[in-house]
Chain A
Amino acid sequence: MSLKSRDLIGIKELEPGDIELVLDTAAGFKDILGRDIKKVPALRGRTVVNLFYEPSTRTRTSFELAAKRLSTDVINFSVSTSSVVKGETLRDTAMNIQALGADFIIVRHSCAGTAHFLAKNLNASVINAGDGTNEHPTQALLDLFTIKEAKGDIRGLNVAIVGDILHSRVAKSNIYALKKLGADVRLIGPPTLIPAYMKELGVGLYTDMNEGLKDVDIIMTLRIQMERQGKGFFPSTDEYFRNWGLTLERISRAKKDVIVLHPGPMNRGVEISSDVADGKMSVIIEQVTNGLAVRMAVLYLLSGVKA
């Protein structure tokens, strides 16, 4: 089994069957991660390069560990965007890395379309680890895996995504993925961060938390990027928490067995209260473990196409 494409650029480009294949494959890898010996020789001899133009700890580490669990050789290549502006072009950097014999290039970049650009220019498999405000496909896949584990099926679930939708690649990838697998999606947040045209994606738009959270099965709350504050999207983090912070009181509008996801890192007291983050409905820590399994599945499935 393998994915149709050589690259994972975004959820937009995937068929529902592709998404299900990743989720099923990830379940197998999750079993392996529960064993004493967590490493399999599946991709021995392959080389994975983490090309990160934005600071990242968890995603990079997750990819690195996933690649190592599959017995690949991993190289981390971190570049600060500022030094690149002065010097080598993205294409040149990537061509150089490819020339070292990389089979996979995992790229994170602040510009939308970067993964697409590299996939067009390189022979190596390109995996998008987040491109600007476009997509973060492996995050959506791990979120769906987590939801599926908890709920069994995704079809028909009511999912609320709360927060800065406008700037969130996590939200975008999740909207596409959830819609493809038949969930109902609603977006909740300040109107400055949820453009009206998002409605055309077939999602509900809410400003009011209590209204938006009514009867939902799943709540995904997004990180409020502190650098947005003072840019006029909302007046203060205090007011944000007052209007859109996820609290136990607000969660009571949702279904009894609601689960809460967060892509991390969390701002406690801004988008989520600690009693929710640490509560029994939270699957936030489970998401991290699942991320490993999902990324192993993605690497494994993409390697099949190249063979």
Chain B
Amino acid sequence: MKLLIKNGHVIDPSQGIDETADILIEDGKIKEVLRRKEPAGGMKENESGIKTQERGVINAAGLIVMPGLVDMHVHLREPGFEYKETIKTGTGAAIRGGITSVCCMPNTDPVNDNSSITQFILKKAAMEGSCNIYPVGCITKGQKGRELAEMTMMYEAGCVAFSDDGRPVADSLMMRRALEYSRVFDAPIISHCEDLMLAARGVMNEGLLSALLGLKGIPAQAEEIMVARDIALAELTGGRLHLAHVSTKGSVELIRAAKKRGVAAVSAETCPHYFSITEEAVRGYNTNAKVNPPLRGRADVEAIKKGLADGTIDVIVTDHAPHHMDEKVREFDLAPPGISGLETSVGLSMKLVDEGVLTLKQLVGKMALNPAGIVGIRKGSMKPGYDADICIIDPEREYRVDAAGFSSKGRNTPFDKWDLKGMPVITICKGVVNELS
């Protein structure tokens, strides 16, 4: 089985490719990227002289061809919360979003804190998943923060990272041990940075707006204290620390300083909602804008963008957190936090390219190559021999977000009816060419 993707604008930071080229796929693997003799040449014949009229040709002229995106922070909800999302619907949504690999967080029911659950997820993924799934295991048993989970066994079963996501590891000694112990298997510890006592059951960013709405606020410091702590612990232990869903200016500054010192293996991610909207989205008690950490202020959004631009923040994830409508159509205080993000990530992130925050190549780095590197999977690249996981985007395609039409069961998005530009049109994964509309 051969497939040729012709004349696309190919971007692959792993090979330094950012030019018009063709990609040859054979038996589900990348055979090679056929570069022109002269970069960005018009309709010249490519080097190998492949006849382009034969079957199995995708004409990608005017389109951007990149490695399938890797989203290292996704909640697939299965097992236990199938009414919110399943492995089947969640991976379907990923494909719609140009994403070919997802790391699924362990806060399911039961939580993924032992290898049997990991195996269940991978088995289900093999049967029903339309994209690749890499489970994230719990750091502590039951995500209770008291004893380490059997991380080596989960690692051997297929977990690529460890996190108590949704909850912090509140006990500093426990976090120290997790970071130390993780050196056994060289997988990152992903930290959900939240000082729960300081957050004090808040439901949105703390400030004038929270006072005006009468909602309990969460100060930025509830995140920053833990970012600072975890950086210190990474320095102490030499463990690999990845900071989840960074949302504040202070966090960006702490991470930037840590990277500058170069004393710790620290990486960080943020989500489209933290660089696209502010706490203002909560006005009117909009539960679809309720997320943890909460949406922040204008200065934070600018700092996040700056952190993306200068490399402080390595990765863009969705933190896809689907919920059932009944859970969101209710009192703001009682609605669960989370945004269904897989199907809006590309459109929102392409804005960064439009605004000149990131180049396309940097964007592909943050959405494919970097996360693959952090969790140590052979993805995010189109080097010869890699799986043919490919995302093709039409950068000029304008569309209106329609949450009701999501493949995800979760329609909880503050971006419904937003006009976006730049849409995934074809996602190739597991040997299937998914044409998206």
Contact = CB atoms under 8 A, between A and B. Distances in A.
27 contacts: A89-B326, A89-B330, A90-B330, A91-B330, A110-B333, A111-B331, A112-B214, A112-B285, A113-B213, A113-B331, A113-B332, A113-B333, A116-B284, A117-B285, A117-B330, A117-B332, A131-B214, A132-B215, A132-B333, A133-B215, A134-B213, A195-B211, A195-B217, A197-B207, A197-B208, A200-B208, A201-B211
B214 A135 contact: yes
Interface string B202-236: 00001110011111110000000000000000000
Contact of A113 (B206, B215, B326): B215
A172 interface: yes
B126 interface: no
B334 interface: yes
Contact of B214 (A89, A91, A172, A200): A172
B40 interface: no
A169 interface: yes
A12 interface: yes
Highest count of chain A CB atoms <10 Å: which of B206, B211, B329: B211
Q: Which 8 A-B pairs have the closest CB atoms?
A: A134-B214, A113-B285, A112-B214, A111-B331, A111-B333, A133-B214, A200-B208, A113-B332
Contacts of A198: 208, 211
Residue of A113, A114, A197 with most partner-chain B CB within 10 A: A113
Contacts of B208: 197-198, 200-201
B331 A90 contact: yes
A197 B219 CA distance: 12
B331 A109 contact: yes
A117 to B, nearest CB: 6
A109 B329 CA distance: 16
Chain A CB within 10 A, most for which of B208, B214, B333:
B214
B329 A112 contact: no
Interface of B: 206-208, 211-217, 284-285, 326, 329-334
Nearest to B332: A113
**Residue with the highest number of chain B CB atoms closer than 10 Å, among A12, A131, A172, A197:** A197
Contact of B333 (A112, A116, A135, A195): A112
A91 B215 contact: no
Nearest to B326: A89
Interface string A98-137: 0000000000011111101100000000000001111100
A132 B329 CA distance: 18
Contacts of A133: 214-216
Nearest to B209: A197
A100 to B, nearest CB: 22
A263 to B, nearest CB: 16
B211 A112 contact: no
A94 B79 CA distance: 34
Contacts of B326: 89
Contacts of B332: 111-113, 117
Given A116-B285, A201-B208, A132 B330 contact: no
A1 to B, nearest CB: 28
Residue of B212, B217, B330 with most chain A CB atoms under a 10 A cut-off: B212
A112 B286 CA distance: 12
A198 B209 CA distance: 10
Given A113-B285, A116-B285, A117-B285, A169 B214 contact: yes
A112 B204 CA distance: 12
Nearest to A173: B214
Highest count of chain A CB atoms <10 Å: which of B206, B326, B330: B330
Contacts of A169: 214
Contacts of A117: 285, 330-332
Contacts of A111: 331-334
A148 B332 CA distance: 36
Nearest to A195: B211
A12 B209 CA distance: 12
A113 B211 contact: no
Contacts of A114: 331
Contacts of B211: 172, 195, 197-198, 201
Nearest to A120: B284
Contacts of A134: 213-215
B260 to A, nearest CB: 31
B214 A132 contact: yes
Given A113-B213, A113-B214, A117-B330, 13 more contacts: A89-B330, A110-B333, A111-B331, A112-B213, A113-B215, A113-B332, A114-B331, A117-B285, A197-B207, A197-B211, A198-B211, A201-B208, A201-B211
Nearest to B282: A113
A109 B215 CA distance: 13
Nearest to B334: A111
B31 to A, nearest CB: 56
A114 to B, nearest CB: 6
A256 B207 CA distance: 37
A116 to B, nearest CB: 6
Contacts of A91: 329-330
Contacts of A195: 206, 211, 217
